[in-house]
Structure 1
Amino acid sequence: MKGLIWNCRGIKKFGVSAFLRNIISEHKFYFIGLQETMQEEIDDRTLRLIDPSGSYLWKWIPSNGRSGGILSGVHIDKFDIGSFHEGKYILQLNLYDKEKKVKWNFLNIYGAPHEENKLEFLTELANFCSRNKDPFLVVGDFNIIRFTSP
């Protein structure tokens, strides 16, 4: 199973869509998790630039100003999507692997970039993980620093 996880720091920056289109075409990822899209809205044109063949189902969470934003894609030949759940920092897709005949959850994360929101982020993450009975894969940019001083 192959996936692409990338903090793209701006989905509409020059060259990003061409880079994504090429790497997706070459590797045929099963799932894609992009963080820090820096977009309040991701339109169909942007998705067609990345995925011209329409091989992926895309879900996204808007950025908060110029910070954050999550875009998740799953290959529709590989997975059925049972449901999805959006949080402030997490986008969860409940997937059914067509080949292996198993359910699992894909959690794409862009953690709170500011210290004052860390507890809120970690609480949301704990809630998402604790309510899942199926296996899950947690990926993304957690924005966690263990120590703030050297």
Structure 2
Amino acid sequence: MINEFWKGVNQFNQEEFYACHDTFEALWMESVEPQKKFYQGILQIAVACYHLGNLNWRGTVILLGEGIGRLRDYQPIHESIDVTELITQSTDLLKMLQEVGAEQVADVVQQLTTTSIDSISEVGSGRIRRLPKITRVNPDL
């Protein structure tokens, strides 16, 4: 199960959100609390990012909110993951999407796919760098 977890994290960070969904869904279905809710939170943020790629503003906003909510109790760090940072990045994306609305979702996706990580793009007044990433706190573990 541990190897599958890190496989899912790598898929998430490589923006392979559909594959990440499959990996985390399998983990989620086989797990018990407290892990079940943790896996579901990551899964929902991955699916939100997948929806964003398909210009599904409503699905993105709903699942970002649900994923963020499920991960809050796991802060600051859980399973060697910086949960606080994942929540911060996801919340920033959610707020920006709520601000620009469904009408500008294509602009958001275009900015996210054409912007280097070192630069900042402006969409509306929202500042975005990239899609959320999962940060491993203790990579040697």
- TM-score, normalised to structure 2's length? 0.29
Give the structure with the larger helix fraction: 2
TM-score (norm 1): 0.28
**Structure number, greater radius of gyration:** 1
